[in-house]
Amino acid sequence: MEDGNEEVILPGTDIPNETTEDKLYPQIQHIEDRSTDTNLKVDENSVGANSSAVPLSGFNFWDVNSYKRTVKRIDDGAKLCDDLSKLLVERAEIEGLYASKLQGWSKKWKDLITKSTEYGSVKVSWLNITNEADQLAEIHNELQVRVGQVNGGVQQWKSSNYHKALLSWKETKTAEEGFSKAQKPWAKRNDEVLKCKRAYYQACKVRDQSEKLYKEACVEGSTVTEEQVKKLKDKSDKAANDVQTTRDKYQDSLRDIGNYNPKYVEDMRYTFDKCQQSEEERKNFFKQTFLNYSQQLSLSPHFNRMSSIYTGLSKAFEAADASADISWWSVNLGFEMPTRWPEFEEYTGQEEQTVTILKQQPQQTAANQTNTSQETQGSPSTKKSSVCATL
């Protein structure tokens, strides 16, 4: 690159066989392809919009109606604001959808884990996975709000810089009127130049034909009469005079338009500079919006929170104690439960009621033990002592 600045190439980026300017700035024909103005017809053979070179042929800003591309750029700017707003809305929706998916996933599995056959400290680890999803969803909900605020800024800027007219933007209409007013006197002179040029060329064509006929008539052996030769000579002389007359008018028209050119340039530049200033403001605003977007989506402000989330999650997983869990099972539901052997009991008439109670008691005990394992996270020794005291 020029001016000693090196082009930065991102890792993994393909480098096509084209210059950086070709990638950043469209060719004239590409701008034309996006135009909906079918009345604006321009030769596609032209230089890049960013080039400081003089266009080779075809499009030239100073030609009649060629300013319409600059006018259309105003409409393009408004459309780009809409596109940027749509982009931000979609990104905010993605953040919100991701947060919603995390929350839905967390609720689903929290309910399943709560009702599952898992127990003890490992069950707590399961539940901490769902808690992590809830905390991460909260961060992405905040990101959704932040991106929405960036979009609000875009919409506000557009409403402040583009004002609706009947069929277009007021800014577009103002630019169109400014260019048209500046170009109209010059265009009138240009029409006169073209008119004189056509007349001069036609006179030259008639002169050449007349001279050819006269010379052929003067050739020895020609069957043309002297009277006809005289008429051809008069016609040739008249054609030569017409050439000189049209040539003088052609040159006069060129001098006239040449004298007006500085005024034309001054008036066109005034309107063009205003359009350039507006476009520069739009591009600078977009640049600031992009920077704000990157700041709002940056996870740097959330590093502490996210670090805390996953540090806590790791600690919860480390706290899972398989030995304590199986010890709890042994004490409350297994081998270490107090023994209760059948003994001889004398008939008292209450046997049927006693048998019914004994059948119901194991079911109630299992239900109480399940509720106790869900509500408390105490050590197996604590639960053992409480169960023993109950028994």
The answer to whether 168 and 75 are in contact (CB under 8 A) is: yes
Does residue 81 register a pLDDT over 70?
yes
Q: Are residues 158 and 182 in the same domain?
A: no
> Domain total for the chain?
2
Residue span of the structural domain in which 243 resides: 170-267
| 21-39 pLDDT, tens digit each | 555 666 655 554 443 433 3
- Residue 269's pLDDT band (cuts 50, 70, 90): very high
Q: Are residues 228 and 311 in the same domain?
A: no
Cβ neighbours of residue 130 closer than 8 Å, sequence gap 6 or more: 105, 106, 107, 109, 110, 113
| 155-176 pLDDT, tens digit each | 999 999 999 988 889 999 999 9
Q: Are residues 91 and 106 in the same domain?
A: yes
3-state secondary structure of 325: helix
d(CA 265, CA 182): 9
Lowest mean pLDDT among 198-207, 253-262, 312-321, 349-358: 349-358
Tokens of 114: 């709560």
Residue with tokens 């600031």: 288
Q: Are residues 157 and 175 in the same domain?
A: no
pLDDT at 21: 58
Q: What is the mean pLDDT of residues 234-254?
A: 93
| Boundary residue ending a domain (303, 325, 347) | 325
Decide if 351 is inside a domain: no
DSSP readout, 186-246? HHHHHHHHHHHHHHHHHHHHHHHHHHHHHHHHTSTT----HHHHHHHHHHHHHHHHHHHHH
Tokens of 29: 């024909």
Decide if 349 is inside a domain: no
pLDDT at 40: 35
Q: Are residues 206 and 245 in the same domain?
A: yes
Phi then psi dihedrals of residue 184, to 5 deg: -55, -50
Cβ neighbours of residue 252 closer than 8 Å, sequence gap 6 or more: 196
| Global confidence as pTM | 0.67
| 311-325 pLDDT, tens digit each | 888 888 888 888 888
The answer to whether 57 and 45 are in contact (CB under 8 A) is: yes
d(CA 346, CA 340): 18
Q: Are residues 177 and 256 in the same domain?
A: yes
d(CA 38, CA 43): 13
DSSP readout, 292-359? HHHHHH-SGGGHHHHHHHHHHHHHHHHT--HHHHHHHHHHHHSTTSPP---------S-HHHHHHHHH
The answer to whether 152 and 289 are in contact (CB under 8 A) is: no
pLDDT at 302: 78
Decide if 371 is inside a domain: no
Q: Are residues 236 and 248 in the same domain?
A: yes
Q: Are residues 83 and 135 in the same domain?
A: yes
Q: How many other CB atoms are there within 10 angstroms of residue 234's CB atom?
A: 12
Decide if 375 is inside a domain: no
